[in-house]
Structure 1
Amino acid sequence: MTDETTIPVGEAVPLLEPREGIPPVIDDAAGLAATVRTFALGTGPVAVDAERASGYRYSGKAYLVQLRRAGAGSALIDPTACPDLSDLDVALADTEIVLHAASQDLPCLAELGFRPRRLFDTELAGRLLGYERVGLGTMVETVLGLRLEKGHSAADWSTRPLPEDWLRYAALDVEVLVELRDALHEQLEASGKLAWALEEFAAVLNTPVPAPRSDPWRRTSGIHKVRSLRGLAVVRELWILRDEIAREADLAPGRVLPDSAIVTAALEIPRTTKALTDIAPFTGRSARRHLRDWLAAIARARSLPESQLPQPSTPGDGPPPTNRWADRDPAAAKRLAAARAVVAALADEHRMPTENLLQPDAVRRLTWEPPEILDDEHIEARLRTLGARPWQIALTAHPLTKALDRLNTKGDL
């Protein structure tokens, strides 16, 4: 389901080495300054990528930043040695930055003082063009006919020194990113979707940093199994303690203690070291160091007065889960079904995923609390307040108005 002919499977050429070889890692002020000068003198868009240590480290910071630009070649920057990229940011302020899945890398780049003003997101472009698989390796193979080796995507990039094969992999991630951008730009233009893509890229850049979650411990995987308030208190105390330990040690929380261990402890509420270590994950090397602390946290939860126990989670400010709509508000359930059918048909017509044509949350909120007057003007205004972009509103507002008004006219609402 794409707007352009793609490279047949099996005909891709392996991309094994960067054209100019693996660039040296920039790890001092002089090297960074030289890189800034070189890239400022380059031409065209700049390909950027960042490698993190997700699953290994507590923070989401970058441990390697890769760049490539025509006339400048490629560069690998070590942010642990060069944590301030604000000079690079200034030098490239008017330059289009090419990222793949930009929302993943923009936060860690911003921490370094690098904040693109103009963006081309090759993953998002692929979605708008209807590519079914939009990972970088697949897109490069499908669009350019080149095969990237993706063996180190889940590596611990906080490792020092970085192995040569990891550096090769990192350099190759930006090697043809601008070429991919150029091909996708051409396809967007040919399909009439370029203006839509530019709106989407701007929206990614302007997305505010999410506010910290209240009660983040409630997102513990498997917490739905914990039915008692005392058990929820155990989850809360263990989660908070684990978070403190993980932050102090700069370890991913799951490497300190997995969620499954927290949930099991909340169900069993052990009172002794023996009972706690009967829960297998508590015998792991990292968790075992803190056995006394885990038991103390559980004891705190056991001793809390009833008035201080956490209560079951309350609904947020949005609609309830859609599987409850038929019972709670049958009319809203009919509106949702009608709206989803409209969005699905339009998405199919324009060859893109439904969630890129109109965000599912916007569809839910619109149909749970529609405007009192079901006409184009009020539907457009409602979609605008829900964060829909102008191109999305232009495509969906009138068909949604017709569908919802038809239900209203039939007396189904």
Structure 2
Amino acid sequence: MSENFRMINATEELVAFCDLAQANGWLALDTEFVRTRTLYADLGLVQARTGAEIVLVDPLNGVDLAPLWQLLRSDIIAVLHAAGEDLEIFQRNNAAPQNLFDTQVANAFITDGSQIGYAGLVEQMLHVSLDKSQSRTDWLQRPLSPAQLEYAAADVEYLAELYPSLRAKTVAAGMEELVLAECQEQVAKRARESVAELAWRDIGGVNLLTGQGRAVLRELAAWRLTLAREKNIALPFVARDHVLTDIARKLPNNRQALSVIDELHPKSLRLYGEAMLACVEKGLAAPEEQHPEEIPRYDQDPEYKRFFKAAKALLKAAGEKANVPVPLMGSRKQINEVYVWQHFTRDETKEKLYQPDLYQGWRGALVAEQIAELVAKSYS
């Protein structure tokens, strides 16, 4: 690892770097952040490279990052590795990359579809072993240590070296179009903000609740997500999932009854007890026709098992025909999304949700029609 990087300490320096990147047409980019008790990540450092220029931008020292956000919104190619959480930070600054090239995604398409970490890919392609000892350090502390700065700079130094080789390999393999499509789907996914009133659908244990219990859980989950967004609190620090399902099952109607809910933290009881009880009351008042739909446990259902087996075979055949690594065609989760969408999701709910991955994008173009026919047959 060279020490050929510099700190950007003034906004005009960042403007000059962004102008250079714009002229080059691409930049390698990474972020360091902390997310412990917050819903949203706290940005601690931005690393970037274009050409031979490596810079570290400290967002806590007064540098205005607006020029970088504007650059990402342009037609520049943003090169990242496993960009998911970085994209969340960009999205919150209205800076979704228009042209993302994710080296993890690219490598998956030109190999066997498996996901590899940055250090592993650098070692595999460049024969360089990276020091990952700083990955869990506090990126909000100041001053940052020399070891932290060197670690951060390495994340974009070698990323920039991986990019041209991986880009060429995707072209040679006829995969460039699919790789870029998958990258843009990842950008689009991170831009989605889930509907608070449907947050109950993502909570485990919902299959054990009655219609009345689901109505209560709907109110609790919507309240928790709304509060977490307003206060920037990680969901478990408001209340854990199983606490919400326990409340929806036991239906406490006073603070004493609420206080004996298993693992409800005393602080949460003190701060949010009245709000939780109000959610119970509102859920109980919902008429039966307004109860959320049932999502039963289906993994032991013979019909589901037959569908899943057939869906896996269909995806395998489609992947082989399109020369796409089979693991990238669809995961168990993505197959299950289709099953729940088709059998346990009302039309009015579908209008508020995004379609399953297998029904849209490049995957949908390959398999949507066949998957829809298959899942329809499973309950016929």
- Taking structure 2 as the reference length, the TM-score comes to 0.71
Q: In structure 2, what is the equivalent of residue 344 of structure 1? A: 316
Q: In structure 2, what is the equivalent of residue 389 of structure 1? A: 362
Residues 180/362 of structure 1: CA separation in 2 closer, same or farther (3 Å cut): farther
Q: In structure 2, what is the equivalent of residue 45 of structure 1? A: 26
The alpha-carbon deviation at position 48 of structure 1 amounts to 0.9
Gaps of 5+ in 1: 1-16, 369-384, 405-412
Count of residue pairs brought into register by the alignment: 354
In structure 2, C-alpha distance between the alignment counterparts of 1:153 and 1:309, rounded to whole Å: 50
For the residue of structure 2 that corresponds to 1:48, the secondary structure is strand
What letter is aligned with 1:343? Answer: L
User: Counterparts in 2 of 1:267-346, with a 5 A limit?
Assistant: 267-271=249-253, 273-279=255-261, 281-284=263-266, 286-290=267-271, 293-295=272-274, 297-298=276-277, 301-302=280-281, 306-308=285-287, 311-314=290-293, 326=303, 340-345=312-317
In structure 2, C-alpha distance between the alignment counterparts of 1:270 and 1:391, rounded to whole Å: 45
Greater CA radius of gyration, 1 or 2? 1
For the residue of structure 1 that corresponds to 2:174, the secondary structure is coil
State yes or no: 1:106 paired with 2:87.
yes
For the residue of structure 1 that corresponds to 2:263, the secondary structure is helix
Q: State the identity as a percent.
A: 22
Q: In structure 2, what is the equivalent of residue 116 of structure 1? A: 97
State yes or no: 1:32 paired with 2:15.
no
The alpha-carbon deviation at position 60 of structure 1 amounts to 4.9
Q: Is the 8 A contact 1:242 1:253 kept in 2?
A: yes
For the residue of structure 2 that corresponds to 1:341, the secondary structure is helix
Q: In structure 2, what is the equivalent of residue 262 of structure 1? A: 244
What letter is aligned with 2:360? Answer: G
For residues 219-256 of structure 1, give each alpha carbon's deviation from its aligned partner in whole angstroms, at most 9, with x where no partner exists.
Answer: 45334265234433543444444445534542212123
For the residue of structure 2 that corresponds to 1:134, the secondary structure is coil
Question: Which structure's residues are more often helix, by fraction?
Answer: 2
Q: In structure 1, what is the equivalent of residue 175 of structure 2? A: 193
In structure 2, C-alpha distance between the alignment counterparts of 1:353 and 1:180, rounded to whole Å: 21
What letter is aligned with 2:11? Answer: L
Q: In structure 2, what is the equivalent of residue 95 of structure 1? A: 76
Q: Is the 8 A contact 1:149 1:169 kept in 2?
A: yes
For the residue of structure 2 that corresponds to 1:46, the secondary structure is strand
In structure 2, C-alpha distance between the alignment counterparts of 1:205 and 1:220, rounded to whole Å: 21
What letter is aligned with 1:135? Answer: G
User: Counterparts in 2 of 1:62-101, with a 5 A limit?
Assistant: 62-78=43-59, 81-82=62-63, 84-86=65-67, 89-90=70-71, 93-101=74-82
Q: In structure 1, what is the equivalent of residue 107 of structure 2? A: 126
In structure 2, C-alpha distance between the alignment counterparts of 1:249 and 1:233, rounded to whole Å: 24
Q: Which moved more, 1:63-72 or 1:228-237?
A: 228-237
Q: Which moved more, 1:64-73 or 1:145-154?
A: 145-154
The alpha-carbon deviation at position 312 of structure 1 amounts to 4.7
Residues 36/91 of structure 1: CA separation in 2 closer, same or farther (3 Å cut): farther
The alpha-carbon deviation at position 73 of structure 1 amounts to 1.7
Residues 279/45 of structure 1: CA separation in 2 closer, same or farther (3 Å cut): same
The alpha-carbon deviation at position 278 of structure 1 amounts to 3.6
In structure 2, C-alpha distance between the alignment counterparts of 1:94 and 1:112, rounded to whole Å: 17
For the residue of structure 1 that corresponds to 2:245, the secondary structure is helix
